[in-house]
C-alpha cells in the first residue's frame, strides 16, 4: 500500500480530508445489447433524465453563491435540454422500435442531435449548444450506469481534490470552505496551477507524478503544503500530529494578520515594499485585505485569456481603472501582454513552434504586432489618471527591444496628449529581468528605465536551461544557487548605480529562505502571491539588514543551492 507521496510544496497549509478524484469514470457500455421489455427500459431512461435534472438543480443551488450569473446559466441550459420532450420522445422511439438498451438509445439520439447542431457552420452559439448536449448525455449515461461524475461545484463536504492537472475553470468553481487541499500529478512550484492555489489559499502539493493512480475516492489524505508531503491512509497518531501542526500554522497566521496595516520594515528600521501579484482586477480586494503595499505585478494576459476576443481599448481601460481605483492610492505595476509560451490565445493563432518558450512570445509579439500593443498602452495611459501606475515590459532581452517598446509607448502617449495634455506623464516605465542577457547587461538597461522587476520564474528557467513546467527537471529550480544569487546581486547593484528601483515579482520574492539574502542585497520591492505577504512582513521585522548583507556575501561564496539553504536555515533557526 502506498503510504507517502512526495511532491512539490505549492501552497502553504495543511489539509486533512477524504480524497475526491477529479477524474472521469469509465462510461463505456455494451453497444450490441438488445432488450425485451421496452416499457421497463424506457422507464429506466426516463428516470435517468429526471435524476440528471435533479442533480443539476442541486449543483446549481450549491454553486449559486460562488459562480456568476453567466456561469450559472450553463446549468439552466443543461436542464432545458433534459426537459425537451422531443429528445426523450426520440429515445423512446429508439427503444421501442429497435429494442435498444437505454444506453444505446441515449447515446444514439444525443450524438445525432449534437452532430446536427455542430454542423451548423460558423455558428458559435450552436457549437456551444452541441457541447452542452454532449455534457448532458454524459450525465444521463452516468445515472444509467450508476457511476458518479466528479463535479467541483457540487462538493458540499470537506475533500482533498486529487487530479492530474488543475485548470483555471476548476479553481474558479472551488469553494475553499470545502476544498481542504489539492494534489496533482503535474506542475511545478511556478506553474500557473500552483500560483492559483496560493491565491485561493488552499494547501497544495503538485508534481507528484502519479497520485491519481495511488489513491481512491474517499481514502483519507493529509496534504502538507508546507513540506510537499501527502500521507495516504494516515494512522490516528499521524492525524493528531498533523492536526497540531495545522493548528500551530493557523496560530502563526493569526499573528501575521496583526501586521496588515504595519509598514514593511526590517529590524533596523529600513523600509521595503511588499506587493501583490494579481491576475485580474478582482484580485485587488484580497491584495488590500492582505495588507499589500501595492500591486507589483498585474499579469495582464489573464484579461486576454479570459476573453473570447482581443479585448478592446475600452474593455482594458475599465479593467486597469478598476485595479488602480481598488488599490486606493497604492502603486500598481501592470505588465504588458505576456502571451505565447505556455499561455496561448484561442483568437490569436500563433505559429506551431518547436520551442515555444524560446519563440514568438510576450514583447516579441507586441513589437511585431504594434496595433495590439498600442491598444493596450493607450488603455493603460488613460487609466493612469486614476492613481499611481507603472508599466513594465516582459521578456526584454536587448536594448533595441527596450527602446522599441518605449518608442511605441511614447507614440501612444503623444496621440492621447493631443486632447489631454500631460496625460500619462507620471507613469513609470520598467522592464522585467527574465532573459539572461538583460541581467548581464543590467547596467545599460538600468540607465533607460525607472525600475526593474526580476522575474525569477523565467530567469531561472533560462539560466538553468530547464523548462519550468517539466517535472523531470524541477530539481534545477534553484533560486539559492550561489551563481544565480550572484547574478541577482549584480542586477540589484546595477539598478542602484543608476538610481533605478529593483523589484522582484517571480516566486523567489515570496520564498522565506531567499528573503534575508535579498534584503542583504538591497532589493527594494518584493511582489508575491497575496497569501504570502503577511508572513514575509512578519519575517522582515525580525531581520537586520547588516546581518543580511553578511549572510548574502557568505552565501555567494558557497558552492550549491543546498549549502545556501542550510546556511539560511541555520541563521533563521529553522530545521
In the bound state with ligand PEP, the residue whose beta carbon lies nearer, of 161 and 195, is: 195
Q: Is 529 in the site for ligand PEP (CB under 6 A)?
A: no
Distances (CA, A) of 238 to 12, 120, 214, 252: 19, 58, 19, 21
Q: Is 299 in the site for ligand PEP (CB under 6 A)?
A: yes
Which stretches of 178-308 are assigned E, i.e. beta strand? 179-184, 204-206, 220-224, 229-232, 273-278, 295-299
The active-site residue out of 192, 366, 420, 573 is 192
Of 311, 388, 377, 299, the residue nearest 335 (C-alpha): 299
Distance (Å, rounded) from C-alpha 122 to C-alpha 119? Answer: 9
Q: Is residue 505 annotated as a catalytic residue, yes or no?
A: yes
In the bound state with ligand PEP, the residue whose beta carbon lies nearer, of 456 and 536, is: 456
Of the candidates 458, 471, 524, 525, which one interacts with ligand PEP according to CB under 6 A?
A: 458
The active-site residue out of 78, 143, 505, 548 is 505
Q: Per-residue contact track with Mg ion, 405 to 444, x per CB under 5 A?
A: ----------------------------------------
Count interface residues toward Mg ion (CB under 5 A): 2
Q: Is 455 in the site for ligand PEP (CB under 6 A)?
A: yes
**Which of the 8 DSSP states describes residue 150?**
P
Distance (Å, rounded) from C-alpha 478 to C-alpha 461? Answer: 10
Q: Is residue 366 annotated as a catalytic residue, yes or no?
A: no
Q: Is 457 in the site for ligand PEP (CB under 6 A)?
A: yes
For residue 243, the minimal CB distance to ligand PEP (Å) is 34
Nearest-5° angle of CA 406, CA 297, CA 529? Answer: 165
Which part of the chain contacts ligand PEP (CB under 6 A), choosing from 88-96, 369-377, 453-461, 489-497? 453-461
Number of neighbours of residue 196 by Cβ within 10 angstroms = 23
What does 332 interact with, of ligand PEP, Mg ion, none (CB < 5 to 8 A by kind)? none
For residue 116, the minimal CB distance to ligand PEP (Å) is 42
What does 505 interact with, of Mg ion, ligand PEP, none (CB < 5 to 8 A by kind)? ligand PEP
- All 3 cell numbers of residue 178? 470545502
Contact 94, 109 (CB under 8 A): yes
Count interface residues toward ligand PEP (CB under 6 A): 11
Which 180-209 residues touch ligand PEP, going by CB under 6 A? 190
Q: Is 506 in the site for ligand PEP (CB under 6 A)?
A: yes
Distances (CA, A) of 529 to 256, 283, 364: 15, 10, 27
Of the candidates 7, 296, 341, 455, which one interacts with Mg ion according to CB under 5 A?
A: 455
Distance (Å, rounded) from C-alpha 482 to C-alpha 563? Answer: 9
For residue 190, the minimal CB distance to ligand PEP (Å) is 6
**Which of the 8 DSSP states describes residue 59?**
H
Q: Is 474 in the site for ligand PEP (CB under 6 A)?
A: no
Number of neighbours of residue 315 by Cβ within 10 angstroms = 15
Distance (Å, rounded) from C-alpha 242 to C-alpha 245? Answer: 5
Which part of the chain contacts Mg ion (CB under 5 A), choosing from 130-138, 230-238, 283-291, 449-457? 449-457
Evaluate the CA torsion angle 289, 152, 347, 196 in order and state its sign.
positive
- For ligand PEP, the binding residues (CB under 6 A) are 190, 297, 299, 338, 434, 455-458, 505-506
- For Mg ion, the binding residues (CB under 5 A) are 455, 458
Which residues are the active-site residues? Answer: 192, 505
Amino acid at each position: 500500500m502506498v503510504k507517502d507521496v512526495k511532491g512539490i510544496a505549492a501552497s502553504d497549509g495543511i489539509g486533512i480530508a477524504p480524497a475526491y478524484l477529479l477524474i472521469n469514470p469509465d462510461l463505456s457500455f455494451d453497444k450490441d445489447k438488445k432488450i425485451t421489455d421496452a416499457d421497463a427500459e424506457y422507464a429506466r431512461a426516463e428516470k435517468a433524465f429526471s435524476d440528471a435534472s435533479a442533480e443539476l438543480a442541486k449543483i446549481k443551488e450549491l454553486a449559486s453563491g460562488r459562480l456568476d450569473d453567466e456561469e450559472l446559466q450553463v446549468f439552466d441550459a443543461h436542464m432545458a435540454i433534459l426537459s425537451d420532450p422531443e429528445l426523450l420522445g426520440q429515445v423512446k422511439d429508439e427503444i421501442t422500435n429497435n429494442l435498444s438498451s437505454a444506453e444505446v438509445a441515449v447515446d444514439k439520439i444525443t450524438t445525432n442531435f449534437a452532430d446536427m447542431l455542430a454542423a451548423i457552420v460558423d455558428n458559435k452559439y450552436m457549437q456551444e449548444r452541441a457541447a452542452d448536449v454532449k455534457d448532458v448525455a454524459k450525465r444521463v449515461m452516468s445515472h444509467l450506469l450508476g457511476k458518479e461524475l466528479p463535479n467541483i461545484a457540487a462538493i458540499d463536504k470537506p475533500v482533498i481534490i486529487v487530479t492530474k492537472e488543475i485548470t483555471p475553470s476548476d479553481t474558479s468553481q472551488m469553494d475553499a470552505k470545502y476544498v481542504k487541499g489539492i494534489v496533482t500529478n503535474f506542475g511545478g512550484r511556478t506553474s500557473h496551477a500552483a500560483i492559483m492555489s496560493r491565491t485561493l489559499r488552499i494547501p497544495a502539493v503538485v508534481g507528484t507524478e502519479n497520485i491519481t493512480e495511488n489513491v481512491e475516492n474517499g481514502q483519507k489524505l493529509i496534504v502538507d503544503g508546507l513540506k510537499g508531503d501527502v500521507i495516504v491512509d494516515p494512522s490516528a497518531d499521524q492525524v493528531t500530529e498533523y492536526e497540531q501542526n495545522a493548528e500551530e500554522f493557523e496560530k502563526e497566521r493569526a499573528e501575521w494578520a496583526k501586521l496588515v496595516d504595519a509598514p514593511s520594515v526590517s529590524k533596523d528600521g529600513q523600509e521595503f515594499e511588499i506587493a501583490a501579484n494579481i491576475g485580474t482586477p478582482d484580485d485587488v480586494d484580497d491584495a488590500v485585505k492582505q495588507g499589500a503595499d501595492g500591486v507589483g505585478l498585474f499579469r495582464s494576459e489573464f484579461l486576454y485569456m479570459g476573453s473570447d476576443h482581443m479585448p478592446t481599448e475600452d474593455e482594458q481601460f475599465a479593467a486597469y481603472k478598476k485595479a488602480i481605483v481598488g488599490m486606493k492610492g497604492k502603486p500598481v505595476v501592470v505588465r504588458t501582454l505576456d502571451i505565447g509560451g505556455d499561455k496561448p490565445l484561442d483568437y490569436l493563432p500563433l505559429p506551431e513552434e518547436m520551442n515555444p518558450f524560446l519563440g514568438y512570445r510576450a514583447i516579441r509579439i507586441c513589437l511585431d504586432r504594434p496595433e495590439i500593443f498600442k491598444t493596450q498602452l493607450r488603455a493603460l495611459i488613460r487609466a493612469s489618471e486614476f492613481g499611481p501606475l507603472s508599466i513594465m515590459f516582459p521578456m526584454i532581452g536587448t536594448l533595441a527591444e527596450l527602446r522599441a517598446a518605449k518608442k511605441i509607448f511614447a507614440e501612444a502617449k503623444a496621440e492621447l496628449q493631443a486632447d489631454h495634455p500631460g496625460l500619462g506623464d507620471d507613469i513609470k516605465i520598467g522592464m522585467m529581468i527574465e532573459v539572461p542577457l538583460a541581467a548581464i547587461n543590467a547596467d545599460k538597461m538600468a540607465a533607460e528605465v525607472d525600475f526593474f522587476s526580476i522575474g525569477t520564474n523565467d530567469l531561472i528557467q533560462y539560466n538553468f536551461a530547464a523548462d519550468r513546467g517539466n517535472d523531470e527537471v524541477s530539481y534545477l529550480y534553484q533560486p539559492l544557487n550561489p551563481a544565480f544569487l550572484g547574478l541577482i546581486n549584480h542586477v540589484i547593484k546595477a539598478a542602484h548605480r543608476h538610481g533605478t528601483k529593483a523589484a522582484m515579482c517571480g516566486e523567489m520574492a515570496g520564498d522565506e529562505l531567499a528573503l534575508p539574502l535579498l534584503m542583504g542585497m538591497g532589493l527594494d520591492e518584493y511582489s508575491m502571491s497575496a497569501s504570502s505577504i503577511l508572513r514575509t512582513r512578519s519575517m522582515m521585522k525580525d531581520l537586520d539588514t547588516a546581518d543580511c548583507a553578511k549572510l548574502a556575501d557568505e552565501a555567494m561564496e558557497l558552492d550549491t543551492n543546498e549549502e545556501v539553504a542550510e546556511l539560511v536555515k541555520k541563521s533563521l533557526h529553522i530545521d
